[in-house]
Amino acid sequence: MTTLTIRIDEDLKKKAFFEAEKLGIPLTLVVTNTLMNFVKSPKVIIGEPEVIAVTAPIQKKMDKIGTILSKIEA
């Protein structure tokens, strides 16, 4: 094991600590898990995930594909 010292915004640290505490896990676990995921798949996502609007016709096609795939897997 080793120690990593980083400088972050104090408010961010407090909020992250609070969220980790709500889950009953140490903030160290959150940071370690994030770094492990980064090493496995070296990418960084910045910002909110894109929301994709699914229209009724698209949903119908997706449902049909799901039905076909479920028959193949069965």
CA atoms within 13 A on the CB side of 44: 2
The answer to whether residue 50 sits within a structural domain is yes
Count of domains for the chain: 1
Q: In the prediction, which pLDDT does 3 show?
A: 94
Domain that holds residue 68: 10-73
The answer to whether residue 17 sits within a structural domain is yes
The answer to whether residue 61 sits within a structural domain is yes
Cβ distance 17 to 27 under 8 Å? yes
The answer to whether residue 19 sits within a structural domain is yes
The answer to whether residue 3 sits within a structural domain is no
The answer to whether residue 5 sits within a structural domain is no
List the pLDDT tens digit at each of the 74 positions of the chain. 899 999 999 999 999 999 999 999 999 999 999 999 999 998 887 887 778 888 999 999 999 999 999 888 66
